[in-house]
Structure 1
């Protein structure tokens, strides 16, 4: 959902808007640009250098007590959990995706879809992320209209549109299927409560607890599938802790390797079908006709991003020690958020020295 407009029949999922008035006590040269009028409704900013907080600011009405919705930043969380199962030997990146329904009928071309292709948003499945009119979006229909009892089943039933691995197409429902794959590896139960509990416990054990994240709330559909492309909630400090994992795969104190270096390197490697995207996250490689997502920032930049201007952005080429994490959360009009929020985030990253040799 990071690129698409959403049907806000579920507007209650968003935190209520707070007053936009600024106060002199909150002024800071590093965070001021995030709260300029052209940035939309910025609700919280956190900047870490080598794991230390160097700037933090909320819009009045928000605090550490709030949990902020991820929208598509959830995709990167899902990608980490897939990687944990790869590390355990339960999944293999270049094997056909273990969706039993695709393997039940001999000759089903969907049986050729690999986990790598799904991670790279190149499954080939028929999909409409952004519809015209908006209700024609597959994502909106399944998340908010008629698919909420079993979202994965609706997506599993989709036919191929093109050969797997031949076309990049952003799909929140591909990420949902990745969450379904994770769930099926954890339990054979069809009880939604058992499935949800198994997924939640796995996420706690393999990601949240070692990262020091205590505020995470995962949302599930009626079948107990985590809505892994779209809906997770965390506090601003915990999104910062998540950013430290995205930075180098380690816990905030640097002592625990949470995501294996090989898996993180894969996630940050541009997809063969699109230079600006890796494995369930965005990369800052220049894209022909588009340029960089964060103009002028290092090509080492990797980011989890979500609808309406949610950003967790990392650079190991900037700052000191492990590098820099910038978190921006808010509610910015979708047609301008990537451009205006991307510019101030790039400026914030470039506020810190860039010396790749130091890292």
Structure 2
């Protein structure tokens, strides 16, 4: 690893503005060139991905689209939506966070937010059922609104597609766990991946997947390699292109991945578009979780930690510096 890049990477563990960094992993052409952990963490520690879990869920959707079992533009997504305006919602809308469903992601009163309620409080028993019942507040495809509930619905759709008619919660969990193992964990080399479920057996595909830093890096490598791992096409190459293509309603968002592009005015910066590179994109999670994929550099950068979102800008800037300190591939 170049000396300048190593100095930048080491700074994540020394600079208070970049705290609390728990792990940094850098892969170049699939080979680890930097791997470091904060005290109390190591290569076997599972670390929560928070909203990076959304990109895991999108990967499963992409596999099913590639197999012809799901369609990006078929509607209605759920039979419960067939008899009202929600019948126009498609998987494409949901993956682009433009379903139009009423949702409250976060606010100064978190106890009232839909996300907290479906994860931890009064709606947590059956998050998908409650999310599915939400009414429209905008026309499908007309407005971007980030929504963890949407990702839970996508996970539910995956489970219902893979195991139709299965209703017992424990059976649903077991079937989904088996699908994760056979479809992603084994072929992509992510044996530590562990996702949580609600009491109805629906995977918390918007927030609660955990993995080691190296396994998160291998997830990024899967996308860097156009969906190929160990010689196997795990995710269709067309899906890799789809998730990295800007949504119509937000130029900085793709298919449940974030793009290194400027976003519409008034929306939070996701990566480092003023620093480049333009082809970088990422799975990003609450409190500063990043799996950054940079095709032009054959690079994957993982940062895991716990940094409050309102002081996250120095972390983003430092990640941009780290990425740009490494050479382009020839």
TM-score by length of 2: 0.94
- Which of 220, 229, 234 is matched with 1:243 structurally? 220
Residue 255 of structure 2 is matched in structure 1 by 279
2:81 to 102, 105, 109: 102
Q: CA offsets per residue over residues 110-154 of structure 1, 9 Å max, x none?
A: 011011000000000000001231212110011111112100011
Cα offset, 1:97, TM superposition: 4.2
Residue 329 (structure 1) aligns with: 304
Shift of 1:32: 1.7
Pairing 1:352–2:326 present: yes
Deviation at 1:250, TM superposition (A): 3.6
Kept in 2: contact 1:212–1:241 (CA 8 A): yes
Distance 1:76 1:37 in 2: 29
Which of residues 134, 144, 150 in structure 1 aligns to 2:120? 144
Give distance in 1, aligned partners of 2:45 and 2:76.
37
Q: CA RMSD in A?
A: 1.6
Match of 1:33 in 2: 11
Query: Residues 97, 245 of structure 1: CA spacing in aligned structure 2 closer, same or farther, 3 A cutoff?
Result: farther
Tell me if structure 2 keeps the 8 A contact 1:208–1:216.
yes
Match of 2:68 among 86, 89, 94: 89
- Change in Cα spacing, 1:292 to 1:195, as seen in structure 2 (3 Å) is closer
SS at match of 1:44: strand
Q: Does 1:222 align with 2:196?
A: no
Q: How many angstroms apart in 2 are the aligned matches of 1:311 and 1:91?
A: 28
What is the match of residue 161 of structure 1? 137
Cα-to-partner distance string for 1:35-86 (whole Å, 9 max, x where unaligned): 2110120000000100111111110111012100110000000000001111
Distance in 2 between residues matched to 1:354 and 1:78, nearest whole Å: 30
Q: Matched residue of 1:327: which SS?
A: strand
Residue 54 (str. 1) matches residue 30 (str. 2): no
- Pairwise CA distance, 1:292: 6.9
Structure 2 runs not aligned, ≥5 long: none
Any idea what SS the aligned residue of 2:33 has? strand
Note if contact 1:239-1:327 (Cα within 8 Å) is conserved in structure 2.
Answer: yes
CA contact (8 A) 1:128 1:138 kept: yes
Task: Report the CA distance shift for 1:262/1:53 in structure 2 as closer, same or farther (over 3 A).
Answer: same
- List structure 1 segments (4+ residues) > 4 angstroms apart after TM superposition: none
Name 2:146's counterpart in structure 1.
170
Range 116-125 or range 256-265, more displaced: 256-265
What is the CA–CA distance in structure 2 between the aligned matches of 1:288 and 1:112, rounded to whole Å? Answer: 25
In the superposition, the TM-score normalised over structure 1's length comes to 0.86
- Looking at structure 1, the residues matched to 227 and 131 of structure 2 have their Cα atoms a distance apart, in angstroms, of 33
What whole-Å deviation, never above 9, does each CA across 1:7-28 have from its counterpart, x for those lacking one?
Answer: xxxxxxxxxxxxxxxxxxxx94
* Rounded Cα–Cα distance in structure 2 between residues aligned with 1:28 and 1:302: 22
Give SS of 2:51's match: helix
Q: 1-side partners of 2:262 and 2:55: how far apart?
A: 21
Quick check: 1:131 aligned with 2:107? yes
